[in-house]
Amino acid sequence: MGQRMNQRTVIAMAAMGLGLGLLLPGVPAAAAQAGAAHPAPHAATLAEAAAAHVQGVVVSRVSLYVRARPTTSAKVLGSLDPFEKVQLSCQAKGSSVEGNNIWYRLHGEPGWVSARFVHNYTPVRWC
């Protein structure tokens, strides 16, 4: 569900940006459509963003377990505090936690956390 929300957000923001480009005074419609004629810079930006890690924040009310694999039965490697900022490398499907089966791999350290308790600020690429 988190990924669908992110896709919807990106689509809505893109549509809003196009709409603003068409409505702003002094911006010809051809200039607003110029981005569609040259998709290479936009595609490169998306590829760079996908390769980078994503920032997130723990949204649980108690400490969040960091696990060795994306499942609730995996060994606990440590924990994260509520509202702690984390770096996320990628996402994968794992065991369901309160209806959410997406897990995030932490960037720069071993371990996985349930996406149910981490808010990501931008889309997280698939592992």
Neighbours of 55 (CB within 10 A): 14
Question: So where are the chain's domains?
Answer: 2-38, 54-120
> Which CATH number among 2.30.30.40, 1.20.1740.10, 1.10.3680.10, 3.40.50.720 corresponds to the domain 54-120?
2.30.30.40
Tell me: the pLDDT tens digits for 3-35?
A: 444 555 444 444 444 343 433 344 334 334 444
Neighbours of 2 (CB within 10 A): 17
Task: Supply φ then ψ for residue 81, to 5 degrees.
Answer: -80, 155
Tell me: the pLDDT tens digits for 78-110?
A: 999 999 999 999 999 999 999 999 999 999 999
Tokens representing residue 89 in the block: 């490398």
